[in-house]
Structure 1
Amino acid sequence: MVFKIVFYFNGGGKQRIRPSRTQKASGTERTHSSLSLKFGCPAAPGVDGGARARTGRAPYRRRKIDVATAQSEAKNRPESGAWTLRSAYTLAFLTIIYGFNTADRNIFGLLMPLIQADMNMSDTMLGLMSGLVFALFYTFAGLPVAWLADRWSRRNIIAIGFTIWSIATICTGLVQNAIQMALSRFLLGAGEAAGIAPSNSMVSDLFDKTRRTLALSVLQTANALGILFSFPIIGWIAHHHGWRMAFIAAGAPGILLALIFFFTVKEPERGATDKEKPPETAPADFISTMKRLLSTRSYVLVVLSSMLVGVSLAGVQTWIPTFLARIHELNPQDIGAYIGFIRGPAGILGAISGGFLTTKLAQRDERWLVWTPALFMILLLMSDLGMLYAVSGVGWKVGMALETFFGSAQVGPMFALCLMTSDARTRAVATALLLLVVHLLGLTTGPLIVGVLNDMLAPSMGAAAIRYSITVAALFSLGASIVCLTINKSVKPEAAASR
C-alpha cells in the first residue's frame, strides 16, 4: 500500500488533487478545500471516490425494495375504520361508561316505591322527578356540550361528565326533601349530557360506514349491561340497607373509572373513517350547524320517529318496577333481580342482533336501514301488551324479555340513520339534537303521562290503573313505526350528499 500526502493551494481557497492517469482518461477530477489526504489504494468497487472525498464517507446506496415484503406490510397494516385493539378497547370503555349512564339514570325508577313511602310523593310528583326534572338539564345542556365536542377533546368531555353525574348520584342518596331531590336530578342530567353524544361521535371516527352500525349497536348494549349488573345489586342493597345507600353505592365507582378513562383512552382523529376528508376549515358556527341539520328532511324524520318511540320506552320502563310491585306484589330485591336478569341478556342480544341484522339486510337493499327499525317498533308494542296483560308469571316475564329485545334492537339502527345524515363536523350536535328532542318530549312525556293517568284512574280502578296508564304510553311505538317508514323516501340521496 502506498501512502502519500499531496498539498495543493490556489487563490480560490480550494485544492486540486492531482488526477491519476485513469481519471485523466475519463475526464474526472476532484477539488477540495484545505488539506487533502490521498491513499494510494483503489476505491471499493462501485464507490465514487469523489463522493468519498467530498463527504469523508461512502455515498448512500439505495436499499433494494423487496416488493413482496412491502405488499405484505401494507396488507397487515390496520385499515382506517377497522377493528383494532385500540378501537375495541375504546369502544368497550365507552360501553362501560354508557352502562353507568343508564344505571344511574334508571335506578330512580327501581327505587320509586321506597322513595314514595319515605318522602310522601304522589305518582304525578314521581313522574316529574323521574322525567321532566332530570330531562330539563339533560337535554338543554346536551346541545352546547355536543357543540363543544365537535371542537374540543371528546375524551375529556366524557371524563368530566362522568365525574359530575357520579357525584350527583351520590348526592341523591343524601337529600332530605323534594327540592334537594330535584337539584340532584338537575345535576345528574347536566353530567349525563356529556356522555352519549360525544361517545357516538367518537365511535363514528373509530369505525367506517360498513362497521359503524354494528359498533353503535355494541355501544347500545350498555343499556342492557347497566340494567343487568346494577339492578340486582342495587335492589339487594335497597332491600337490606335502604334506598339512600343504594344511590351512594351506584355513584361511587364512577369517579375512579372516569380517571382511568382519561389516562388510557386516546382521542380519535375527526373524519378519519370518512371516504372524503372534511376540509381544513374552521367548523361551522352553532346556528349554521342547526340550520343545516333542520333543513335535512330525513334527519328531521329520524328525530320525530325516535321521539315517539322514546315516549313509549320511557313511560313503560320507568313505571314497570312500580307495576310489578302493585300488580304482582314483588319487593325491591325481587324486582331488581327479575329486571336485571331478564332485561340484561335480552337487551344485549337485541342490540347486537338489531345491528347485525340491519347491516346484513342493508347489503342487499339499503331500504332495510329504515324497514328494520320500523319492524322492531311494531314488535315492541306487541311485546308491551303481552307483558302488561299476561295472567301468569311466565307470561309477563316472556313479554318483558321480548319488549327489551325489540326496544334495544331499534336503537343502533336509528342512531346509524341519524349519523348518516350528518358529517364529521356535525355528528355530535346531530346526536345531541336527537337526544334533546327524545328526552325533552319523550323522557318527560312518557313517565308524566303514566303518572297523571295513575292519579286520575286510581279512585275508580285501584291498583289496576297502572296497567292501562302504561298501555297509553306503549301505543306511541305505533306512531314511531309509521314515521320511520316515511324516512325511506329521502334518506338515501340526502345521506349520500352529506357524506
Structure 2
Amino acid sequence: MQWRHFSRIALCVLLFAHILAHVDRNMLLGFSPQIIRDIGLSNAQYGFLVGAVWVLSFGLMAMFMGTLADRYSRPRVVAVGMLVWSVCTWASGNVQDFTQMAMARFFVASGEAALVPAAVSLLADLFPARRRGTVIGVFFTGIPLGIGFSFLLAGTYGETHGWRDTFHALGVIGALLALPLAFLSEERGQPGHERGAPFGEQLRAMARTVRGTPGLLQVIAGFVLLHMVFAGFAFTQVWLVDERGLDAAAMAKRIGMLQLVFGTFGAVFGGGLGDRFAHAIRGGHAGFVAGLVVLCAPFMLAYRFAAPGSVLFYLGMCAGAFLPMAAYGPANTLIQGMVPATMRSTVAGFTMMAINVVAISLGSLAVGAGRDLLAGAGVASPFTVMMLATDVLAIASVVLFAGAARRGTVVSMPAAIRTH
C-alpha cells in the first residue's frame, strides 16, 4: 500500500506513533518514586537517566536517522525505529539496576529519534503547502498528549499492575504497530522524490543549504531559541514550591493539566491559523510566529511576579505552555518549504538535534548551575532570576523570526527545489 493514496490515514498513524513515543519517553517520570526505590537509584542516577542519556542520544541520533529517511523508505525507517524503541521499552520492565536501565533508555531514545524527521518530511510530501502547518501542528499534538497520557496511565493502569507490567504492555503495543508500517511503501521514483545522498555527503549538502539560505538559518535558530521555555519548564515545579510556597502535589496536577490542554490547543491553533492567515501577514508563517511571541511575552514575564493563584499567574502559565507548541506547525512548514525534497528529513533531524542539545540539555544545565551560583552569592529568589532569563531568551526569538519575515521567507520555494 502507498501512503500518498491514504494521506489522512497516514497522519492518524503517525500521530498515534508520536503519542506512543512520548508516553514511552515520559513513563519513567510517571513512575519515578517506584523505579528509584525498586532498582536502588540515587537522585544523580535518576537525573542522568531522564536528562543526559535521553537528550544526547535522541538529539545526536535524530540527524543520522534523518539522513536514512531521506535515502531510504521513510515508513520503513519509522517502523524500524519504532520496533527498536518498543522492544527496549519492554526490556525496561525487566531491568534490575542503573546500568541496565541506562542501556534500555539509550536505545529507546535512539529508536524514537527516527520518527520526527521521517514523519515531518513525509507529511510535507503528502499534503499541499497550504495545509502543511495544520497537518504538522496536528502531528505535534503528540507531545502534550503523550505527556498527559503517560501520567494518566501511570496513575490508573500502572497503579494496579505496577511499572514493570506497564512497560511490558507499551512495548507490545508499539511492536505490533511497527510491523504493518514496514510493509507500506512510498513513491520515491516520481519527480521530487529522489533519494538523498550518503551520510557524509548529505551532511555537507545540508550545511551548504543552511549557510546559503539566511532565512532558513534564522527560522531554525529562532525555533531553537524559543525552546528555552522548556529549559525553564524543567524547574517549574521546584521554583513554585521553593520560592512561591505552593504545594508540590497540587501544582504537579495543575501543571500537567495546563500543559495537556494548552499545549494541544497551541499546536492545533498555531498550525491551523498559520495556514489560514499567513498569506495576509508580512513574511507569512515567520511573521505569524513573531506575532505569537509578541502576544505571549507580557504574560510570560508577568507570571514570574504575579501572586500565586491569580488570574495573571495562570495566564502566564498557560502562555508558556501554548507558545512553543503553537510554533511547531508554522516553523516546520517554513523549514520544510525552504529545502530540497531530498533533504527534508535531514534538516528536520538537524533541527531536533539542535533543540535537544542546545536548548533542552545545555539550557537546563545552565538554569540549574546558574541557580546554585546565584544562591551561593546570596541573591534573593535565584530560581526566579534564572526562569526570567529563559523567558527573555525565548522571547528574543522574535528578532530572528522577524528577520526571516523581512527577508520574505515564505512557504513557496524556488522552482528548482519545489516538490508540489
From the CA coordinates, give the structure whose radius of gyration is larger.
Answer: 1
C-alpha contact (below 8 Å) 1:374/1:484 kept by paired residues? yes
Q: 1:494 to 1:247 in 2, by over 3 A?
A: closer
CA offset at residue 426 of structure 1? 0.9
For the 8 Å contact 1:373–1:414, the answer to whether it is kept is: yes
Deviations 1:229-273 (Å, cap 9, x if unpaired)? 22222245667777666655655532233235445xx4343497x
CA distance in 2, matches of 1:103, 1:446: 23
Distance in 1, matches of 2:239 and 2:189, equals 46
Name the residue aligned to 1:121.
43
Alignment partner of 1:278 out of 192, 204, 227? 192
The structure-2 alpha-carbon separation of the partners of 1:393 and 1:463, relative to structure 1 and needing over 3 Å to count, comes to farther
Aligned residues: 406
Pair 455,177 (structure 1): closer, same or farther in 2 beyond 3 Å = farther
Question: Which has more helix, going by share of residues?
Answer: 2
- 1:233 and 2:153 correspond: yes
Equivalences for 1:39-438 in 2 at 5 Å?
Answer: 86-109=6-29, 119-122=41-44, 128-172=48-92, 174-236=94-156, 251-262=171-182, 266-270=184-188, 277-278=191-192, 283=197, 285-294=201-210, 295-313=212-230, 315-323=231-239, 327-331=245-249, 337-365=253-281, 367-393=283-309, 395=311, 396-438=313-355
Q: CA deviation at 1:454?
A: 4.6
SS at match of 2:403: helix
- Distance in structure 2 (CA, Å) of the matches to 1:227 and 1:141: 22
Q: Distance in 2 between matches of 1:248 and 1:465?
A: 41
Can you list the C-alpha shifts for 1:12-68, whole angstroms capped at 9, x where unaligned? xxxxxxxxxxxxxxxxxxxxxxxxxxxxxxxxxxxxxxxxxxxxxxxxxxxxxxxxx
**Deviation of 1:356 (Å):** 1.9
Q: Which runs of 5+ in 2 are unaligned?
A: none
How far is the alpha carbon of 1:190 from its aligned partner? 0.7
Q: Sort the Cα spacing of 1:291 and 1:173 in 2 relative to 1 into closer, same or farther, 3 A.
A: same
Deviation at 1:312, TM superposition (A): 2.4
Give 1:424 shift.
Answer: 1.4
Distance 1:207 1:107 in 2: 32
Unaligned runs of 5+ in 1: 1-79
The equivalent residue for 2:396 is 479
Residues 120 and 237 of structure 1: CA distance in aligned 2, closer, same or farther (over 3 Å): farther
- Which letter does structure 2 place at the counterpart of 1:257? L
2:26 alignment partner AA: N
Is the CA contact 2:196–2:343 (under 8 Å) kept in the aligned structure 1? no
1:133-169 deviations in whole A, cap 9, x for unaligned?
2222212222222111112111111122112223333
Structure 1 residues 252 and 129, CA gap change in structure 2 (3 angstroms): same
| Separation (CA, whole Å) in 1 of partners of 2:222 and 2:106 | 26
Distance 1:416 1:338, change over 3 A: same
Residue 447 of structure 1 aligns with which residue?
A: 364
Deviation (angstroms), 1:90: 0.8
- CA shift, 1:414, in A, is 0.7
- Supply the distance in 1 between the matched residues of 2:46 and 2:373 (Cα, whole angstroms): 15
What is the distance in 2 between the residues matched to 1:400 and 1:236? Answer: 26
Give me the whole-angstrom Cα distance separating, in 1, the residues matched to 2:80 and 2:251. 32
Cα distance, 1:279–1:271 mapped onto 2, change above 3 Å = closer
Q: 1:131 to 1:382 in 2, by over 3 A?
A: farther
- Partners of 2:304 and 2:218 in 1: CA distance: 29
Contact 1:131–1:445 (Cα < 8 Å) also in 2: no
Going from structure 1 to structure 2, the CA distance change for 1:421 and 1:145 (only over 3 Å counts) comes to same
CA contact (8 A) 2:87 2:171 kept: yes
Displacement of 1:495: 5.6
**Cα pair distance change 1:229/1:129, threshold 3 Å:** closer
TM-score (normalised: structure 1): 0.71
TM-score normalized by the length of structure 2: 0.82
Greater CA drift, 368-377 or 240-249: 240-249
Code of the residue aligned with 1:474 in structure 2: it is D
Query: Secondary structure of 1:119's match?
Result: coil
CA distance in 1, matches of 2:193, 2:13: 30
Contact 1:128 1:447 in 2 (8 A): no
434-443 or 485-494, larger mean C-alpha shift: 485-494
1:384-439 Cα deviation digits (max 9, x unpaired): 44555443336554433332222211111110111111121111111111111111
Shift of 1:441: 1.1
Offset at residue 121 of structure 1 (A): 1.7
Q: Corresponding residue for 1:46?
A: none
Q: 1:359 to 1:280 in 2, by over 3 A?
A: closer
Higher relative contact order (CA 8 A, sep 6+): 2
Kept in 2, the 8 Å contact 1:224–1:343? The answer is yes
Shift of 1:170: 4.1
Matched AA of 2:12: A
Q: 8 Å contact 1:109–1:318 — kept in the other structure?
A: no
Q: Deviations over 1:176-228 (max 9, x none)?
A: 55444433332122111111000011101110111112111111111122123
Which amino acid in the other structure matches residue 265 of structure 2? L
The whole-number CA distance in structure 1 between the counterparts of 2:131 and 2:60 is 31
Q: 2: distance between equivalents of 1:426 and 1:350?
A: 27
**SS in structure 1 at match of 2:43:** coil
Q: Deviations over 1:109-149 (max 9, x none)?
A: 55556667762324xx6555433322222122222221111
- Residue identity matched to 1:120: S
Partner amino acid for 2:339? Answer: S
